[in-house]
Structure 1
Amino acid sequence: MSLTPEPAVVRHPYRWVVLALAWAAFTMTAVDRSTWGPASVAVGEHLGVSLAGLGAFATGYYVGYVVSNAAGGVLTDWLGPRVVVGCSLFLAGGFMILFGETDSVATGLAFQAGVGVFAGCDYSAGVKLISQWFPPRDRGFAMGVFMTATSLGTVIANAVVPSLIAGSGWRASYHVFGAASMAVAVLCLVLLRNSGGAHVAGAPREVPDLRPLARNRDLWLLGLAGFGALWGTYGFITWSNALMIKGGHLTPVQAGAVVAIFGVTAVAAKPFMGVVSDLFGGRRKVPAVVVLAAFVGTLLVFGTRDSLSGFLWVAPFLGVAAYVYSPLMIALIPELAGVRLAGSAAGATNAFWQLGSMVVPVVLGAVFQATHSFFWAFATLAAGPLLGMILMLGVREHRAGDRVPAVTAVAG
Structure 2
Amino acid sequence: MPGRLLRLFQPAPAQPASYKSEDEMRSKFRYWRIRQLYSTFIGYAIFYFVRKNIPLALPLMEKDLGLAKADLGKILTLHDIVYGISKFLNGFLGDRCNARYFMALGLFLSAAANVAFGMNSALGVLIVFWVLNGWFQGMGFPPCARILSHWFSPRERGTFWGLWNTSHQFGLAIILILAGYLGEWYGWRWIFYVPAAIAAAVALLLVERLRDTPASLGLPPVEAFHGEVPAQAEATRPQSTENQSLHEFWRFLVRSVFSNPFIWGACLSNFFIYVVRYGFVNWAPSYLQDRQVSLAGAGWMMAGFELAGLVGALMAGWLSDRLFGGRRSPVCFAYMLAATACIVLFWKLPDGHPWAYAVVLLAVGFLIYGPQFLVAVFTADLATRKAAATAIGMTGFFGYLSGVLSGWGLGHLVDQHGWNGAFQVLIACSLLAALPWVFMWKISAEHAPKEDGSAS
- Tell whether the structures are fold-level matches, with TM greater than 0.5: yes
What secondary structure does 1:335 align onto?
helix
**Residue in 2 aligned with 1:347?**
393
Post-superposition shift, 1:290?
A: 0.6
Does the aligned pair in 1 maintain the 2:184–2:296 contact within 8 Å? Answer: no
**Residue in 1 aligned with 2:95?**
77
Does the aligned pair in 2 maintain the 1:235–1:361 contact within 8 Å? Answer: yes
Summarize the alignment of residues 252-271 of structure 1 with structure 2, pairs less than 5 Å apart: 252-271=295-314
RMSD, matched Cα: 2.1
Once the two structures are superposed, residues 17-72 of structure 1 have per-residue CA deviations (whole angstroms, 9 ceiling, x without a partner) of: 11111122221122322211111111233322112321111112212201211111
In the alignment, does 2:82 pair up with 1:64?
Answer: yes
Does the aligned pair in 2 maintain the 1:302–1:378 contact within 8 Å? Answer: no
Once the two structures are superposed, residues 189-233 of structure 1 have per-residue CA deviations (whole angstroms, 9 ceiling, x without a partner) of: 222111132683695475441322211111111111100111100
CA 1:206/1:112 → structure 2, altered by over 3 Å: closer, same or farther?
farther
How far apart, in 1, do the equivalents of 2:47 and 2:328 lie?
Answer: 26
**Residue in 1 aligned with 2:192?**
174
**Residue in 1 aligned with 2:289?**
245
**Residue in 2 aligned with 1:384?**
429
Equivalent residue in structure 1 for 2:277, among 233, 237, 248: 233
In the alignment, does 2:49 pair up with 1:31?
Answer: yes
How far apart, in 2, do the equivalents of 1:406 and 1:118 lie?
Answer: 33
CA 1:216/1:406 → structure 2, altered by over 3 Å: closer, same or farther?
farther
How far apart, in 1, do the equivalents of 2:403 and 2:171 lie?
Answer: 16
**Residue in 2 aligned with 1:4?**
none
What secondary structure does 1:265 align onto?
helix
Instruction: Give the ranges of 4+ consecutive aligned residues of structure 1 lying more than 6 Å apart after TM superposition.
Output: none
Summarize the alignment of residues 198-237 of structure 1 with structure 2, pairs less than 5 Å apart: 200=238, 204=243, 207=246, 208-209=249-250, 210-212=253-255, 213-237=257-281
Once the two structures are superposed, residues 75-121 of structure 1 have per-residue CA deviations (whole angstroms, 9 ceiling, x without a partner) of: 10121322321211111111111111112111111111111111122
Summarize the alignment of residues 4-403 of structure 1 with structure 2, pairs less than 5 Å apart: 12-196=30-214, 197=221, 200=238, 204=243, 207=246, 208-209=249-250, 210-212=253-255, 213-246=257-290, 248-280=291-323, 281-305=325-349, 306-307=351-352, 308-372=354-418, 374-395=419-440, 397-400=443-446
Identity %: 23
Once the two structures are superposed, residues 247-277 of structure 1 have per-residue CA deviations (whole angstroms, 9 ceiling, x without a partner) of: x232222222221211121223322332332
Q: Does 113-122 or 10-19 show the bigger shift?
A: 10-19
What secondary structure does 1:72 align onto?
helix
Does the aligned pair in 2 maintain the 1:78–1:206 contact within 8 Å? Answer: no
Could you state the TM-score of these two structures normalised by the residue count of structure 2? 0.82
How far apart, in 2, do the equivalents of 1:16 and 1:351 lie?
Answer: 29
How far apart, in 2, do the equivalents of 1:242 and 1:332 lie?
Answer: 33
How far apart, in 2, do the equivalents of 1:326 and 1:406 lie?
Answer: 30
How far apart, in 2, do the equivalents of 1:299 and 1:165 lie?
Answer: 28
Does the aligned pair in 1 maintain the 2:272–2:402 contact within 8 Å? Answer: yes
Post-superposition shift, 1:310?
A: 2.2
How far apart, in 2, do the equivalents of 1:302 and 1:48 lie?
Answer: 29
How far apart, in 1, do the equivalents of 2:394 and 2:366 lie?
Answer: 25
How far apart, in 1, do the equivalents of 2:238 and 2:111 lie?
Answer: 33
CA 1:101/1:220 → structure 2, altered by over 3 Å: closer, same or farther?
same
User: Which amino acid letter does the alignment assign opposite residue 367 of structure 2?
Assistant: A
CA 1:190/1:204 → structure 2, altered by over 3 Å: closer, same or farther?
farther
How far apart, in 1, do the equivalents of 2:396 and 2:452 lie?
Answer: 21
**Residue in 2 aligned with 1:7?**
none
How far apart, in 2, do the equivalents of 1:205 and 1:238 lie?
Answer: 41
Tell me the number of residue pairs that the alignment of Structure 1 and Structure 2 aligns.
397
Q: Does 394-403 or 311-320 show the bigger shift?
A: 394-403
Post-superposition shift, 1:321?
A: 0.8
User: Which amino acid letter does the alignment assign opposite residue 251 of structure 1?
Assistant: S
CA 1:177/1:295 → structure 2, altered by over 3 Å: closer, same or farther?
same
Does the aligned pair in 1 maintain the 2:91–2:393 contact within 8 Å? Answer: yes
How far apart, in 2, do the equivalents of 1:179 and 1:297 lie?
Answer: 40
**Residue in 1 aligned with 2:5?**
none
User: Which amino acid letter does the alignment assign opposite residue 254 of structure 1?
Assistant: G
**Residue in 2 aligned with 1:3?**
none
How far apart, in 1, do the equivalents of 2:61 and 2:245 lie?
Answer: 44
CA 1:327/1:51 → structure 2, altered by over 3 Å: closer, same or farther?
closer
CA 1:206/1:39 → structure 2, altered by over 3 Å: closer, same or farther?
farther
Task: In structure 2, list runs of 5 or more residues that go unmatched.
Answer: 1-25, 215-220, 223-236
Q: Does 332-341 or 119-128 show the bigger shift?
A: 119-128
Does the aligned pair in 2 maintain the 1:30–1:149 contact within 8 Å? Answer: no
Does the aligned pair in 2 maintain the 1:337–1:401 contact within 8 Å? Answer: no
